[in-house]
């Protein structure tokens, strides 16, 4: 996968997880940080929705992520 990404012009990010990452907030923090590395200010836009994860609400975050990708054309 790594070789393909390097040869491709498609922006990509990698997230490695282990058994200690079994926390909803931590998982999505890693995913958002990975996207932010390729899309500046993505994490800032997701911060209010990431905070809502502490209550277990995943849907608002996913909807916001989809919206961000659609307006950024990614």
Residue pLDDT, tens place only, 12-67: 888 888 887 788 888 899 999 999 988 889 999 999 999 888 888 899 999 999 99
Residue 47's domain comprises 41-73
50 found inside a domain: yes
Asked if pLDDT for residue 8 goes beyond 70, the answer is yes
Residue 29 domain-assigned (yes or no): no
| 58 belongs to a structural domain | yes
Note whether residue 47 is domain-resident. Answer: yes
1 has pLDDT over 70: yes
Residue 61 maps to a domain: yes
State how many domains the chain has. Answer: 1
The per-residue b/e assignment along 6-44, b for 16 or more CB within 10 angstroms, e otherwise, is eeeeeeeeeeeeeeeeeeeeeebbebbebbbeebeebbe
13 is a domain residue: no
Q: In this structure, is residue 45 part of a structural domain?
A: yes
Residue 65 included in any domain: yes
């Amino acid at each position: 996968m790594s070789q393909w990404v390097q040869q491709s012009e498609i922006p990509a990010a990698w997230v490695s997880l282990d058994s200690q990452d079994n926390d909803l907030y931590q998982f999505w923090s890693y995913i958002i940080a990975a996207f932010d590395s390729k899309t500046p200010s993505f994490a800032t836009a997701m911060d209010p929705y990431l905070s809502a994860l502490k209550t277990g609400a995943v849907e608002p975050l996913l909807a916001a992520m989809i919206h961000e990708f659609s307006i950024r054309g990614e």
